[in-house]
Amino acid sequence: MYKRGDEKIVVGYTSGVYDLFHIGHLNLLKNAKGLCDKLIVGVTSDELVAYKNKKAVIPHQERMEIVRNIKHVDSVVPQNDMDKFKMWQRIKFDVMFVGDDWFESEKWQALDEQFEEVGVKIIYFPYTKGTSSTMINETLKNLRS
């Protein structure tokens, strides 16, 4: 538990690849920080990105440095495992922020239940329509062909 004097502070957590940083990333971080006192952000390692058969354009250490320097972010940690509960065991956040593209998916319904047992609330933010790293990559690919 984190405290400021006698007052408990609310610790939030979110994670992502944060490759080709865009307005959707910024919106998520800004909105998350508005709902917690301390925001910790997990940045997905290059090895973990490969699980989607993808490759990050920006190397992991550089992505961590970019996110670390966003004014809404208090701390950055590497995300080397997809298991969000393992991360909770490590840093004990109170609330987790996720894009609503995961809302009511089978995986996240199970996580909702698991986190509810330990008092962690999951907040789903609207996915930023019209922009994503995948779309940026596709646009760049089309421009180069």
Q: Report the CATH number that the domain containing residue 108 is assigned in CATH.
A: 3.40.50.620
Catalytic residue among 52, 55, 86, 107: 52
Give pLDDT, residue 85: 94
How crowded is residue 29: how many other Cβ atoms within 10 Å of its Cβ? 23
pTM of this structure: 0.84
3-state secondary structure (DSSP) of residue 143: helix
Rounded to whole angstroms, how far apart are CA atoms 26 and 72?
9
What's the pLDDT at 118?
A: 96
- Token output for 3: 């405290």
120 backbone dihedrals φ, ψ, rounded to 5°: -95, 130
Indicate whether 53 pLDDT > 80: no
Told to judge if 52 belongs to the known catalytic residues of this protein, a careful annotator would answer yes
Please answer whether residues 16 and 44 qualify as being in contact, where contact means their C-beta atoms are separated by less than 8 angstroms: yes
- 54 included as an active-site residue: yes
The residue ranking higher by pLDDT, 67 or 139, is: 67
Range of the domain at 124: 3-144
Domain count, the chain: 1
Higher pLDDT, 109 or 51: 109
CA 129 – CA 117 distance, rounded (Å): 32
Catalytic residue (one of 8, 54, 92, 107): 54
